Structure 1
């Protein structure tokens, strides 16, 4: 049996098993790396995880500020069955490790005309809400849209998301025709618009494509699967914040015998021919490995491997985001746990961010109030707000964010006050602003936490694969590889990376 080292242990060597194998070294204790580790441990492999931060979670980061416990990465959790699958690999369950609260509504959408729509994942509740705000025809259209999204999801998950791709020929499978028949290779905005006509509903069921780095008018209709996850499958919040997810996966991995080494950065990969033989850290440690799984940002992974990605054209990266974390001494009843505050502009916002490389003049914002569900995340009588404003990445825009950031922060506060959060500015007791320049300082390419955009040329078999040409025992995981960006998909990427390792070496010790 493997020997579990305590958190922060320096000795990564482990006794070799009967087959004389060194462990699999996973670089990065983000959600993809932890999912990969759990699947490998469940298959009987020895695993060492190396993480530069002093805690797990990766981009699901954390900040403790004046008694406020802040999530600095994703705030929306969907598809908890994928967490359950990863934990189930080592005989545990999501319900044993996490206290997940289903959110009802999943979102509240607030519009420039003063109207609001609560987005429910329950079919009957959402149909009643659509009937209330838009009438019977739109309620029928919503049910048609929901059915279409569900059919998209079922096909895509089994054949195109939770699936390995080695070449474009791997697309040629029976579900390809089914996806085409559903209109999956058309455009998202028109596909949604054929089912609901109310502009507010069209926004609610298509804005998610921006997380994939593409405006709804240009995104493949197949990316309606993200709207399925948000508006049909359900949105959850873990008590303790999103940091609890990384903590839960890491604890399960440690219990299963994995070694987790925090506070160590990987500086180099030692190679012999086409094999990586060891991982070297900034602490002077040499960690021998049988296989290595790299979950770092894609350019960083290729730098460690010592080559550039082989691609006829340069990768296109997603837009970035400005995030304003606020600890306040008051709250507002108009805010749900998640509130999408839409500006009056719509198509123009995408042109400004992606085409012109400048901040939105009439911003649409995601405002998360985690203390609505878990008051313990803030001092007694205080509240947390997380304000996300999509923004150009550093390749698209030429903005001096160190100079512009404070001014943009003031614009965001003023905009939210104009939209009903009166007295927001004077209520702030703690804050932290994060701009694309800050994401870049964290090592994220072009200052975006959303990695590669999901254009057609960067989707499915055209997205960077999880194997590395010219390297026999290195595998990639995370949002830069297949299947893509988002908490559910990076969990799948970890599972697929583990499957690659096991297909090369088999399970067991």
Structure 2
């Protein structure tokens, strides 16, 4: 594996998102002097927070899988979730999701195979439950075949897949499993009910592609979602980043908030110092850049040309009276409310050109106070809860819409749709404090106005994804969802670890077993 040549005593990490904090902890544990620079006034990046007058809410990702990777980052500096300051308590959600379909039927998603089998049998019959077991087994084998050698590994070249014995063996396993066929075809051949099929294919959207086009290797995503468990930390997703940041500063790392990096200054093909907006220049031996692919130019790193971006999203954050929300047809932390359309929905939002808004939207509703009662707030004697709704939409490359004008009107349409689906009161009683659109993400420097970065097409996946050892510099390393291994909370944490390996080598960064074999035990589940 190629690594940064020369001394690496002083490392600067640009960005305090999960990938940056993960990289910083692994580098600190390897003996480096690490400084993390963050332009915002808080840590977290895409897993940050919005602060309003009387409450906070998670600003980005709300789905946490593979929490062992949080433990892994803390263990790099000799801490764990309980000993960190602030401490971190992560609970499993059961169900992980609650799905509701256009015909009024619903299904809860449990990670426990027996419980999920009973749920599938209740809704679709015992034969479909048996077919679910077969699909779960196949998804698990795909996940285990690719985790160590593809997700949690660096690549110097696509040829690594054939010249490194362990990677070659994993590749052959995936070929035998049919993982390079289409995910949608495999799922629909195994399952019979189209509603259940959706639950094991909608995750392809995370990878930036429609299920009909997604490769079977992306079956690792629904496996993580539906079999390895979805979790939620006390205090919200933002508490993960806050705990990682606390662990960094407690063990010798530096963290500077509200500190913007304006450029990296090079000499002899190496980054020599990082220039800040306040005029300071910090010397360095290596730099880890976690900026989005759409912002790499300003750091002297050359992104790949011709990247295809994932679809984007419209996300509304605010509060709703608890007495209203308690009348809704589903009471769950995560609700996926599917429209009747399916293939058409993906055709509308995923094309490279000519994208449009969903004509029959499928939406993600998030109500975190149902899992953490401490998140409820009181106003004038009435109880309110934080609430978010997410609607996938095309990115700005495929649909350059005028979101500053369109956004509020589109949100009213979405809330009217939910009102018609039985979420009574949402159109008039949901107080929106923040509306994010592709224009929001564009203004933050994100590729094509999407928080989901480059799509996981075959030519942008694994060894073909933008490499984390930046071109044009001997000591600049990339981390984050645009590089190896890709989009998502667990992959962001892995990305930071892989970046640290590029700086100091694999032997100074502790390797752990695949989370498929290291399961978090819990006698109690948080039940929605």
Q: Is TM > 0.5 for Structure 1 vs Structure 2?
A: yes
Question: Given the alignment, which residue of 465, 473, 490 partners 2:492?
Answer: 490
CA distance in 1, matches of 2:421, 2:318: 17
1:93 aligns with 2:80: yes
Contact 2:440 2:449 (8 Å CA) reproduced: yes
- Aligned to 1:114, which of 104, 109, 122? 104
Structure 1 residues 329, 506: CA separation in 2 closer, same or farther (over 3 Å shift)? closer
Structure 2 counterpart of 1:5: none
Could you tell me whether the CA contact under 8 Å between 2:41 and 2:258 is conserved in 1? yes
In structure 2, what is the equivalent of residue 369 of structure 1?
Answer: 367
- 1:124 and 1:335, CA in 2 relative to 1: closer, same or farther beyond 3 A? same
- In the alignment, the residues of structure 1 paired with residue 427 and residue 304 of structure 2 have an alpha-carbon distance, to the nearest angstrom, of 49
3-state SS, counterpart of residue 25 of structure 1: strand
Tell me if 1:181 matches 2:164: no
Aligned-residue offset at 1:430: 4.4
CA contact (8 A) 1:67 1:378 kept: no
Aligned 1:282-431 pairs, distance under 5 A: 282-305=277-300, 308-311=302-305, 314-330=306-322, 331-332=325-326, 334-355=330-351, 356-380=354-378, 381-431=383-433
Aligned to 2:227, the other structure's residue is in SS state helix
Q: Residue in 1 aligned with 2:439?
A: 437
Q: Please state whether the residue corresponding to 1:495 is helix, strand or coil.
A: helix
TM (normalized to structure 2)? 0.90
Q: Is the Cα–Cα contact under 8 Å of residues 131 and 138 in structure 1 kept in the other structure?
A: yes
Q: Distance in 2 between matches of 1:221 and 1:302?
A: 33
Q: Secondary structure, in 3 states, of the residue corresponding to 1:210? A: helix
Structure 1 length normalisation: TM-score? 0.93
Per-residue deviation, 1:171: 1.6
Q: For residues 469 and 505 of structure 1, do their structure 2 counterparts lie closer, same or farther at Cα, with a shift above 3 Å needed? A: farther
SS class of match (1:376): helix
Q: Mark the runs of 5 or more structure 2 residues left unpaired by the alignment.
A: 1-5, 163-167, 510-528
What is the CA-CA distance between 1:506 and the residue it aligns to?
A: 6.7
Verify the 8 A CA contact 1:375 1:383 in the aligned structure 2: no
Alignment partner of 2:264 out of 269, 272, 280: 269
Q: Distance in 1 between matches of 2:103 and 2:318?
A: 26
The 1-side partners of 2:285 and 2:298 are apart by 20
Q: Match for residue 514 of structure 2?
A: none
Structure 1 469/20 Cα, relative in aligned 2: closer, same or farther at 3 Å? closer
Shift of 1:273: 1.1
Q: In the alignment, which residue of structure 1 is the partner of 2:505?
A: 503
Gaps of 5+ in 1: 1-18
Count of residues in Structure 1 that have an aligned counterpart in Structure 2: 486
SS of equivalent residue, structure 2 residue 242: helix
2:14–2:261 contact (8 Å) kept in structure 1: yes
Give the corresponding residue for 1:150.
140
Matched, 1:57 2:44: yes
CA contact (8 A) 1:121 1:232 kept: yes
Paired with 2:376 and 2:55, the residues of 1 have a C-alpha distance of: 4
Residue 10 of structure 2: aligned partner: 23
2:27 — aligned with what? 40
- Within 2, Cα distance between the matches of 1:423 and 1:435? 23
Residue 429 (structure 1) shift:
3.6
CA separation in 2, counterparts of 1:506 and 1:124? 41
Deviation at 1:425, TM superposition (A): 2.3
Cα offset, 1:195, TM superposition: 1.6
Root mean square deviation, CA, Å = 1.6
1:134 and 1:21 map into 2 onto residues whose CA distance is 58
Cα pair 1:293 1:477 within 8 Å, conserved: yes
- 1:442-498 CA-partner distances (Å, limit 9, x unpaired): 221211000000000100111011112231111000000010000000100100000
| Contact residue 69 and residue 378 of structure 1 kept, 8 A | no
CA-CA distance at 1:144 after TM superposition: 0.6
1:217 positional shift: 0.3
Q: Which residue of 2 aligns with 1:447?
A: 449
Whether the aligned pair in 1 keeps the contact of 2:149 and 2:170 (CA below 8 Å) is yes
For the residue of structure 1 that corresponds to 2:467, the secondary structure is: coil
Q: Is the counterpart of residue 130 in structure 1 residue 120 in structure 2?
A: yes
> Contact 1:22/1:288 (CA < 8 Å) preserved in 2?
no
Check the 8 A contact 2:262/2:276 in 1, yes or no.
Answer: yes
